[in-house]
Amino acid sequence: MTPRTAAAGSCCSARNRTSPSQDWWSGEHGSPVSRHPGTRVREAFNTVLKVEYVHRQHFRTRTEARIKIGTWIADFYNARRMHSVCGFLSPVEFERQYWAEQVLQEAA
């Protein structure tokens, strides 16, 4: 498999980069950082997924991997795994509490 290259004129091409002091590509130490804000969130999630699930499993086929990973995300990561950004609640419980608070605020 060959590495992907950025198309000319895309947000990731060299044409859209500015000087290192101005651009979003350069981190504190000059390492490339994507200018898209969701990239860090996706990278963090992928790291958690690999460390906590994928590297601990053996999948016989890609289809089996897709099914088991999707199930892990739906049944564990979103439903039961505690997230620090959610006040150490699962995303499902955090959302449940959020909407309960909204109903109470509207009633008041």
Q: Residue 11 has which token pair?
A: 């947000």
CA of 30: how far to CAs of 33, 38, 40, 64, 94, in Å?
9, 20, 16, 40, 37
pLDDT, residue 34, reads 58
pLDDT, residue 13, reads 42
Count of residues making up the chain: 108
Residues 48 and 88 in one domain: yes
Tens digits of residue pLDDT in 85-102: 888 988 889 999 999 999
**Residue of higher predicted confidence among 75 and 63:** 63
Residues 42 and 78 in one domain: yes
Residues 14 and 54 in one domain: no
Q: Is the pLDDT of residue 70 over 90?
A: yes
Residues 17 and 62 in one domain: no
- How many domains does the chain contain in total? 2
Residues 42 and 61 in one domain: yes
Residues 22 and 47 in one domain: no
Domain around 58 = 36-107
| DSSP H stretches of helix in the chain | 38-52, 62-72, 91-107
Residues 24 and 9 in one domain: yes
Model pTM score: 0.51
Rounded to the nearest 5°, which phi and psi values hold at 83?
-120, 130
Residues 45 and 59 in one domain: yes
Tens digits of residue pLDDT in 31-67: 455 567 778 878 888 899 999 999 999 999 999 999 9
* Dihedral over Cα of 40, 42, 46, 48: its sign: positive
Rounded Cα gap, residues 48 and 80, in angstroms: 14
Which residue type occupies 43?
E
pLDDT, residue 77, reads 86
